[in-house]
Amino acid sequence: MPIPIISHGVTEGLSAIPYAWTVIKVALVVGTVALLKYFFSGARNTSERLMHSKVVMVTGGTSGIGAAIVHDLASRGAQIILLTQHAPSDVFLVEYIEDLRESTNNELIYAEQVDLTSLHSIRTFATKWVDNAPPRRLDMIILCANTLTPTRGPQRLTPDGLDEEWQVNYLANFHLLSILSPAIKAQPFDRDVRIIFSTCSSYMGGTIDLQRTEGALPDTKSTSRSTTKKAKKGSSVQKAKNASSIYGMTKLSLMVFAQAFQKHLSSYKRPDLQPMNARVIIVDPGFSRTPGTRRWITGGTLWGLLVYLVTWPVWWLILKSSQQGAQSFLYAAMDGKFGRVDGIGGWLVKECREVDYMRKEVKDEKVAKQLWEFSEQQIQAKEKEAATKRALAKKEDEAKKKQEASNPGVGAGDSSASSSNVTKAQTPGSRRNRKANNTQN
């Protein structure tokens, strides 16, 4: 059938074939869209690694790219430990883990409650992990948790009084790894340990300004006030620029810390005199259609969501899916060259290949030292404040319990009843008063 049509078109011309030009135009459009989709989809991971018996700790593993990574690694037999802000008994989390176990045919998937907006929650979990004897096995830590304030959204603070983007994207990772450092160093020499950080190309436009993190350093209050006064005198354009660039600052700070943490691990002298077997890898997944990206594009508004839905074909074309965004993470987790004992770590991976850093501050030791010291002091100050608040709240609860114990009959309903009895006793014409009067007489 096609051969006669083609021969007829060659001899008589394309105009002799019905709808020939229409078919050609449609084919060109479809082919162009397919090529663009293939280009924006990014590279695919082709590396393979046996993941059975590997213990992988993941933050942000319940949605977006993190969920895709967890599903792939669990399908390969890895033991997954999800660090999530939800309690293990949460209905959503229980159903999610059950579905994940069923779809991956892997029962070794668990959850630990770790709220990244609470420094106390992070310390509670990490300390319990480190205090285990003998040291628990830990082959990989994948830090995917991320938050992004909508374009028109106000600045949000955590219960610790810090900017939410700063604490979740950077400080929580610093706090977690600082405490887990002994557990990482205690892993046997023949074990391939990898710590994978998640970054974004926005780090190239970020500027590290530590005063904008709502730092709680005692000696920086005056500086923060003067900085605030200067900011009020600035233009609104500059304010908008600062608000939009704090996300880039968190990613740049995270990359600086990743390099410093690799040097921290490499400088450790193992008791067996073997080189350090833990390596740091930074991954840029590219722009993907994750819930965070969608929330940022829509500005956190219903009108923005409506525009997003109308223009969804454009976002489908130029943004990766969660599975496509996870490919570079899987490459960093599986490729053999990152597991070599003589590797120094600190690689940056994008589109399943190693690339160079675009900011010199990432490897600047002076910047890393300043950031490390500031982070430690900030965590110490905030944890003291939180501990004081918990102690006061505990005293108030104890005082309330003692008061209730001393007056066991006084409750929400009993108090009203007792007050009504007192009122009755004080009524001049009551039977009790008349009886008392008669007795006195």
Longest dimension (CA), the chain: 136
Active-site position among 185, 251, 350, 382: 251
Rounded to the nearest 5 degrees, what angle is found at the Cα of 437, between the Cα atoms of 436 and 441?
115
Contact predicate 56/81, CB 8 Å:
yes
Asked about 395 being catalytic, the answer comes back as no
Instruction: State how far the Cα of 139 lies from the Cα of 180, in Å rounded to an integer.
Output: 13
Q: What is the DSSP string of 177-232?
A: HHHHHHHHHTS-TTS-EEEEEE--GGGGG----GGGG----GGGHHHHHHHHHHHH
- In sequence order, the 6+-apart residues with CB closer than 8 A to the CB of 323 are 68
Instruction: State how far the Cα of 119 lies from the Cα of 137, in Å rounded to an integer.
Output: 24
C-alpha neighbours within 13 Å on the C-beta side of residue 387: 8
Continuous segment of H or E residues that includes residue 355: strand 353-355
Phi-psi region of 186 (alpha: psi -120 to 50; beta: other; left: phi over 0): alpha
Residues forming the active site: 251
